[in-house]
Amino acid sequence: MNTIIRRPTRQIRLGNVAIGGDAPISIQSMLCVPTANVEAAARQIAQLEKAGCEIIRFSVMNQADADAIPALKRVAAVPLVADIHFDHKLALAALEAGIDGLRINPGNIGSREKVAEVVRLAAERGVPIRIGVNSGSLPKELVAKYGVSAKAMVEAALSHVRILEELDFTAIKISVKASQLPLMLESYRALSREVDYPLHLGITEAGTLLAGSIKSAMALGILLNEGIGDTIRVSLTADPLQEVMVARRILQNLGLRRGLNIISCPTCGRTRINLMRLADEVENALAEFADRPLTVAVMGCVVNGPGEAREADFGLAGGDGEGLVFARGEIVSKVPEDELVPELLRLIREHFNHE
């Protein structure tokens, strides 16, 4: 089978989540409401946690955002990361306010004293720092020297790493995101040859829900399959809850996480039932079981369906106005089309109640 051998990385701790080493690959997302709007931010944190998000990041652009941190820490069960650009005072404020992680590039903070001050407080509080390099904001001198390339991305990341290492700070994770797949892949691969810090994977400016999911699934899928990546974020121009759902599917598909797997056959000339509607219905109805290790099949053909989907724990196969509900390839009942989904759900609920 396709066995993934994860690249050995150091392990760091971000609040109650371990990242790197043999820790499970964790799922991150980012708030899309203003951090200072505590009520909206707290609501989105709760939704993201329910969806399976394990690390939540938000922008800290000003003091009002930093002031919201204690209230958000009180409601959050998962670690919170402050995303800070340039301003070392905001980094200090976030640390004082009890943040679990920082995303800040030390080379952009300013004087060595300012950096040292932030790093000292982060070390005291046991707070890790993510260095986040983006292809869109590479330093001009590196672009002049190497172009927008993996070499420039890795050099940029290493320049920030060196600043932290000189201050004896090694609770580091790193991202080198790009919007183009080939550049992103090569940057992470090159970086993983240079350092053993845990890596945060992502594609930037990935795009809308479907297009961005396709691009992210390919990029993260290829790297994770090569053993690269310790924590992931799917960035979409869409609701962050969908980022979490897509991230979970990526991990599940590679067998890196257990969970609900719905298989359904393509519609073809043989199909005599509204398969798209049925598959959507089943998918929506089973959302509550998203983290259960279960395979459910939605098949369009009563003749081949149960056999082709014999690996599924449960399934339905639609025919001409009526269909079959089956479990591990064995037919359980034959019902009219509009009772197929309720009958399938009844069986699955019964299964979980008996567990």
Using CB under 8 A as the binding rule, the residues of this chain from 264 to 293 that contact its own copies are 264-271, 275-276, 279-280, 283
Nearer to its own copies, 26 or 29 (CB): 29
Segment near its own copies (CB under 8 A); pick from 5-13, 94-102, 113-121, 181-189: 181-189
Residue located via tokens 């049925």: 278
Q: Is 150 in the site for its own copies (CB under 8 A)?
A: yes
The distance of closest approach from Cβ of residue 217 to its own copies in the complex, given in angstroms and rounded to an integer, is 4
Strands 294-299 and 260-264: parallel
Q: Which residues contact 161 (CB under 8 A, 6 or more apart)?
A: 131, 172, 174, 195, 197
Residue type, 167: L
The distance of closest approach from Cβ of residue 174 to its own copies in the complex, given in angstroms and rounded to an integer, is 19
Q: Is 9 in the site for its own copies (CB under 8 A)?
A: no
Q: Give, in order, the Cα–Cα distances in Å from 31 to each of 95, 236, 238, 244.
A: 19, 12, 11, 12
Contacts of its own copies in 291-330 (CB under 8 A): 297-299, 304, 307-311
Residue type, 254: L
Strands 314-318 and 322-327: antiparallel
The distance of closest approach from Cβ of residue 165 to its own copies in the complex, given in angstroms and rounded to an integer, is 28
Q: Is 214 in the site for its own copies (CB under 8 A)?
A: yes
For 27, phi then psi, to 5°, come to -105, 130
Q: Is 87 in the site for its own copies (CB under 8 A)?
A: no
Q: Which position among 18, 23, 61, 71 is part of the footprint of its own copies (CB under 8 A)?
A: 61
Nearest to 299 by CA among 317, 319, 312, 282: 317
Nearer to its own copies, 71 or 181 (CB): 181
Q: Is 28 in the site for its own copies (CB under 8 A)?
A: no
The distance of closest approach from Cβ of residue 238 to its own copies in the complex, given in angstroms and rounded to an integer, is 6
Q: Which position among 212, 229, 319, 323 is part of the footprint of its own copies (CB under 8 A)?
A: 212
The distance of closest approach from Cβ of residue 339 to its own copies in the complex, given in angstroms and rounded to an integer, is 20
Q: Which residues contact 244 (CB under 8 A, 6 or more apart)?
A: 27, 29, 48, 51, 52, 53, 234
